[in-house]
Every structure is written in structure tokens, then in C-alpha cells.
Amino acid sequence: MGMDSFMALIRNFDPKCTGFIDWRQLMTYFILLQSPVLDLQEAAKIQLLADNEGCISKETFVGNTFWFERTEDSNDPHYHLPFERKRFIKEELFRVNAEPCEGKEESQVSVGALVSLLTAPTGVKGVKTYHDFIFAPTQN
């Protein structure tokens, strides 16, 4: 990656030039690099998983099916042990986005924050995947 690509990446994650990049956003987009950007229909499905406090537990998160699973499958040769890529992706997405929740023993993912983060690239011209957004040309 050259300096121009790196600077574009930084500007895409800090469009208001605040000097702050959300590390959760950066890590989430790198985890989902080749996945399509979350659309509103899929966002509604995620919101249905939330408990009364608007949170998702790890068990619920990892146990459900998400839109990115269509593009993040691993194709293992028949003579190899299967690589559970989808499960690993869900576990990492949970780990990156989980935070302590009041009244809960374990960290949880806030559905509102996750959906907001995942839909942020929606509407950016030419962006279909998180990779497209990360390396999208910036407007000066």
C-alpha cells in the first residue's frame, strides 16, 4: 500500500478531520473486507436479535446466520479438516464490537451501534463491499 492509498484510507475513516479513527470500525471493515455492505433489510434482521436492552450476547451472535456468510465461506479440499471461517468471523466481529453492559455478566454487542457502524458506507458512490469503502477515492 502506497502513501496515497494509506492517506485515502485514513480520510475515509475520519471524514471530518477530527484526528480520531474508530478502531472498531477499522477492524470490523477489515474482518468483512470482501463482504457486501449491510443493507437495511439485513439490518432489520440483526435488530430482531436484540434483547430488551438492545444488546446481543455472544451465544446469540455466533449462533445466527448473517448476510456476509454468503461471501465468506471457505472452500476446503475434501482431504483437509474443515476450516470454520464463518464461525471465526462471527467470533471476531463479536470480540471487536462487544462492550461491558450494565447488569450483564459478559460483554455484549449493542445492536444500534453495530448496525450504525455496518451501514455507514451505504450511499457512498461506487461502494458495494467494505473493501470498496476503505479504499474509495476521497473528495477534496
Sequence length of the chain is 140
Q: Is there a domain that residue 17 lies in?
A: no
Q: Is there a domain that residue 115 lies in?
A: yes
pLDDT at res. 67: 94
Residue-by-residue DSSP string for 102-132: TT-SS-EEEHHHHHHHHHTTTTSTT--BHHH
pLDDT at res. 16: 80
Q: Is there a domain that residue 88 lies in?
A: yes
State the pLDDT confidence band at 9, using cuts at 50, 70 and 90: confident
pLDDT at res. 102: 80
Using CA atoms, how far apart are residues 103 and 101, in angstroms rounded to an integer?
6
Q: Is there a domain that residue 49 lies in?
A: yes
Q: What's the total number of domains in the chain?
A: 1
Q: Is there a domain that residue 10 lies in?
A: no
pLDDT at res. 14: 81
pLDDT at res. 140: 47
Using CA atoms, how far apart are residues 132 and 121, in angstroms rounded to an integer?
9
pLDDT at res. 19: 82
Q: Is there a domain that residue 16 lies in?
A: no
- Domain of 50, in residue numbers: 22-74+83-134
Average per-residue pLDDT for the chain? 87
Q: Is there a domain that residue 47 lies in?
A: yes
State the pLDDT confidence band at 139, using cuts at 50, 70 and 90: low
Tens digits of residue pLDDT in 87-136: 999 999 999 999 998 888 899 999 999 999 999 888 788 889 998 888 87
